[in-house]
Amino acid sequence: MAESIIKIEGLTKTFGSGATAVTALDNINLDIRQGEIFGIIGLSGAGKSTLVRCMNLLERPTEGKVIVDGMDLTALHEKELRQARQAIGMIFQSFNLLMQRTALDNICFPLELAGVSRKAARERARELLRIVGLEDKEKAYPAQLSGGQQQRVAIARALATNPKVLLCDEATSALDPTTTLSILELLKRLNRDLGVTVVVITHEMKVVEQICHRVVVIDNSRIQEIGTIEEVFRRPKTEAARKLVFPQTEHTVKFSGKGKFLRLAFNGNTTDRPIIAEMVLKCGAPVNIAFADTKVIDGRMVGHMILQMPEEPEIVRKMLSYLDSQNIIYVEER
């Protein structure tokens, strides 16, 4: 097992005091390993942003320790903490570029803060622009760039000082599905090529599914579930994880018959082949589609569907094994 790069021990964060106090995080323990892409998923207000902001102490924990690369950040003085932050890159939903600086000068910014000479900084910034595929945009101002391009500049800026960790707070939530995919691919590539540990905060399971190795589900200020993508998404154990994998129940058509209802989730990991039709043909029995809300984005199917299964257990078993073979996530609808 790889070494730990971020270790969080007994972290609690309370905003305000007295009757109006809000506990955003409640006794969080977490161990993120060097070189992995780690997902933190939860619904809005779950405490994800607060947790990631505690990882570089933009938010100071009320209780607990934050150990990054062997150093307890909560024990550092202001100056040491600023130094430590240069080893932790961060990107945001709204990009947060300096609007009055060019793409190149934005990337130079953290290098200036670190006292790197102007010439060396520009050289490094050009190299990073090349890495994120924007070598022709060095003179462009953020207002002249698309959202996806701005996020690429932000990623380049966050990586300028060679950090060991890249924190991403809803980094793709302001982008369209196609751009989201390309940014996720970039993060994956940077993780592979540079070995940077990536922490991805999101409320969208397709993001986590696309790039994360492990994921933690946060709900109600607490960790509900942690594990590999396989473990958490294919067989969610907690209600919180179920809610994320299978967004809330909609009106479904009720058919007569005793067959069980099965909820299928398509998360962009299947192509738009007619999976249900193939399953029906292969297993030789019909199913009812009680509800469907799927769409195809870039040739990948996204959304979910509720099927009423046949009554015969033998056929149901065959169908489930077919779905397994196709990597379709499903749970029995209660």
Partner 1 sequence: MNIVEMIPIIVKELWATIYMTLASTLASYILGIPLGLILVVTDSDGIHPNPAVNRVLGGIVNALRSVPFIILTVAVIPVTRFIVGTSIGSTATIVPLVIAATPYIARMVESSVKEVDRGVIEASLSMGASPLQVVLKVLLPEAKPSMIIGAAIATTTILGYSAMAGFVGGGGLGAIAINYGYYRNQTGIMIVMIILLVLIVQIIQEIGNIIARKTDKRIR
Ligand X SMILES: Nc1ncnc2c1ncn2[C@@H]1O[C@H](COP(=O)(O)OP(=O)(O)O)[C@@H](O)[C@H]1O
Minimum Å gap between C-beta 241 and partner 1 is 29
Minimum Å gap between C-beta 241 and ligand X is 15
Residue 89: how many CB atoms within 10 A of its CB?
25
Stretch that binds partner 1, among 7-15, 108-116, 120-128, 178-186 (CB under 8 A): 108-116
Please report whether residue 255 would count as binding ligand X according to CB under 6 A. Answer: no
**Among candidates 250, 180, 240, which has minimal Cα distance to 209?**
180
Rounded to 10°, the helix 118-131/147-159 angle is 130
Contacts of 293 (CB under 8 A, 6+ apart): 250, 303, 304, 305
Stretch that binds Mg ion, among 41-49, 141-149, 156-164, 245-253 (CB under 5 A): 41-49
Distance CA 20, CA 2 (A): 42
Candidates 22, 114, 120, 296: give the one binding ligand X (CB under 6 A).
Answer: 22
Stretch that binds Mg ion, among 48-56, 69-77, 256-264, 278-286 (CB under 5 A): 48-56
Stretch that binds partner 1, among 98-106, 249-257, 312-320, 322-330 (CB under 8 A): 98-106
Distance CA 202, CA 223 (A): 15
Please report whether residue 46 would count as binding ligand X according to CB under 6 A. Answer: yes
Minimum Å gap between C-beta 72 and partner 1 is 17
Distance CA 62, CA 11 (A): 7
Please report whether residue 197 would count as binding Mg ion according to CB under 5 A. Answer: no
Distance CA 215, CA 113 (A): 33
Stretch that binds ligand X, among 41-49, 127-135, 258-266, 282-290 (CB under 6 A): 41-49
Minimum Å gap between C-beta 109 and ligand X is 25
Indicate which of ligand X, partner 1, Mg ion, none lies near residue 101 (CB less than 5 to 8 Å, by partner kind).
Answer: partner 1
Q: How far is the CA of 116 from the CAs of 27, 86, 166, 284, 285, in angstroms? A: 39, 12, 21, 68, 68
Distance CA 225, CA 40 (A): 10
Minimum Å gap between C-beta 218 and ligand X is 7
Indicate which of partner 1, Mg ion, ligand X, none lies near residue 96 (CB less than 5 to 8 Å, by partner kind).
Answer: partner 1
Indicate which of partner 1, ligand X, Mg ion, none lies near residue 46 (CB less than 5 to 8 Å, by partner kind).
Answer: ligand X
Is the Cβ–Cβ distance between 160 and 186 less than 8 Å? no
Contacts of 80 (CB under 8 A, 6+ apart): none
Please report whether residue 49 would count as binding ligand X according to CB under 6 A. Answer: yes
Candidates 29, 117, 144, 178: give the one binding partner 1 (CB under 8 A).
Answer: 144
Q: How far is the CA of 156 from the CAs of 142, 165, 284, in angstroms? A: 13, 13, 53
Indicate which of ligand X, Mg ion, partner 1, none lies near residue 50 (CB less than 5 to 8 Å, by partner kind).
Answer: ligand X
- E strands along 55-177, which residues? 63-68, 71-72, 88-92, 165-169
Distance CA 48, CA 43 (A): 9
Candidates 11, 30, 39, 49: give the one binding Mg ion (CB under 5 A).
Answer: 49
Please report whether residue 292 would count as binding partner 1 according to CB under 8 A. Answer: no
Please report whether residue 92 would count as binding partner 1 according to CB under 8 A. Answer: yes
Minimum Å gap between C-beta 89 and ligand X is 19
**Among candidates 215, 201, 225, 232, which has minimal Cα distance to 50?**
201
Contacting positions for ligand X (CB under 6 A):
15, 22, 24, 42, 44-50
